[in-house]
Structure 1
Amino acid sequence: MMSEKNLLVVVVGATAVGKTAVTIALAEHFKGEILSSDSRQFYKEMDIGTAKPSQEELAQIPHHFVNSHSINQDYDAGAFSTDAEVLLHSLFQTNEVQFMVGGSGLYVRAFCEGLDEMPETDLSLRETLNKELEEKGLDALLDELKESDPIYYEQVDRKNPQRVVRGLEVTRSTGLPYSQFRQGGKRKEHPFKILKIGLDMDRSKLYDRIDRRMDLMIEQGLFEEAKNLYPNRSNNALQTVGYKEIFDFLDGHYDKEEAVRLLKRNSRRYAKRQMTWFKKDEEVHWFKPDQLDQMIQLIQEVKPNE
């Protein structure tokens, strides 16, 4: 039975900042397990480009929601929130402190705070929109969004095709603006405590880590992995940095050197967006990745007494 005696520690931060290593160390110290809230590490077909924990890291601590789904399955933040709640009910039976880690801000928020009630839509509509995105380009979808839902148009990250497609998907399906469904409902309540820990580092150092990790991914076979996934490129799971750039290379839009440049640039931009999202959350306690002792001390202070 979950209760105030239980504590979920949620570790967030930008890509390549070191969330995996820190969370494993914390979980080892407190004898907990790890739930991934990374919206791309769910998918078993996407290994290199999602920077999943290594086999050695997965063997150190039990991980959940890594390689748990196929790219052909429709899995969103709401479904993750429900599934994670059920899993935690079980995990808290064996240990009062558990861990969640990931850089997908929407999935973290869905679990911790809840999301607005959204209408169900036909999956075929999303497939149609993704095909339009591929054939007509993002600007055409943005023009439609600006006309049909100017409020969401002003709010959305216009460089994120997935967010634009989602807005049009709801608007076309219901005939009502997507923004009308995003009014901010009642905050989700949990029977356990949540502590959010954020990892941050000097921007230039983070960007250097991102560039070096991308070089390693390419060396490990990122281009080959993307080529194998190319027939499924319209799947929602693949509308992400690290794959889209290679798909465009395979389509002949630019050469490999330019693809590598874009992979690094877009990964850095993604990291910047992640930090902007998490810095807005006043509940996050910020640390440098090497401040493990201070993180442990904070968890000890927040952790309910035995």
Structure 2
Amino acid sequence: MAAEKNRQVLIVELPQGKLSEAHFKLVDGAVPEAKDGDVLVKTHYISLDAANRAWMQGATYRDAIESGQVMAGGAIAEVLSSKSDALKPGDLVFADTGWQEFAALPAKQCTKLPALEPMTHLLSVYGVAGLTAYFGLFEIGAPKEGETVVVSAAAGSVGSIVGQLAKIRGCRVVGIAGGREKCDWLVKELGFDAAIDYKNEPVHKALKEACPKGIDVYFDNVGGDILEACLFRMNLFGRIACCGAVSQYDGEAPAHGPRGIPGLIVTKRIKMQGFIVMDFNDKRDQALDDLQRWVGEGKIKVQEDIIEGLENTPRALIGLLAGENRGKRMVKVT
């Protein structure tokens, strides 16, 4: 192992505006050694998420990223050697390996994964994307049969699963996505009742037509103007699951936040709650059982967007932030 190189992608400069490939650098580092309690892992698939960009703006639920570091990111990895009783060589784990081929990590920071095929589903429907959709919708949104559920970034990794889960619950589902092709896919392939193309039609007006009875649950992945538009269509005692704000992660800060929040939340008694998937670790097994059953029954269609090559990870993240992907985007390292 000592003779091998460890290809790594560093974040060499934190962006002040739009993220670009110039902010990253591909280097050859040394393969690390596992210390007591650690495991040495080989990275197979790196998860790409809008949160990668948010981490560059400062501390969130994790430490802020600093220039000169290996870019942070979660991945599916295989244990090569172990100095912990918790894991053994050959085990698959999900861990914050960063954007690199090899990583040495405390075993307690690695989540052992089941031997499921295809492996990529462990990052998409059975990974953070699927679990985020499941808990955000069911625990925060709490939809009831017959209610109207709206989800933004509906063609993305989380949104595409949220809509299908809401259909399983018996709801009317409206997706908001960019481009007619994505909107057609949501309706014709995933079974959404309607889709709004925010790039080519006024969202406020389109919501009135798509949600004639108002919105009971809004799953927010984007924030900004789309959140504002949905707020004005919320029903009494509506619920908003705040998952992300991708519209505000990359570029200049918006001139204003969504308007109408204080008055609308009070007068309509709206529940608006942020969450992260780790909040519900105690319910993870039940969620995975449900997701596996629904995939097996064909009630959830899994869409994955796999980019080949560690060197293409920066470009792949920039493309995700621009809305290139359909479904879960990831990078195949090996």
TM-score band, normalised by shorter chain: 0.3 to 0.5
> Structure 1 or 2: larger helix share?
1
What TM-score, normalized to structure 2? Answer: 0.32
> Structure 1 or 2: larger strand share?
2
Which structure has the higher relative contact order (CA within 8 Å, separation 6+)?
Answer: 1
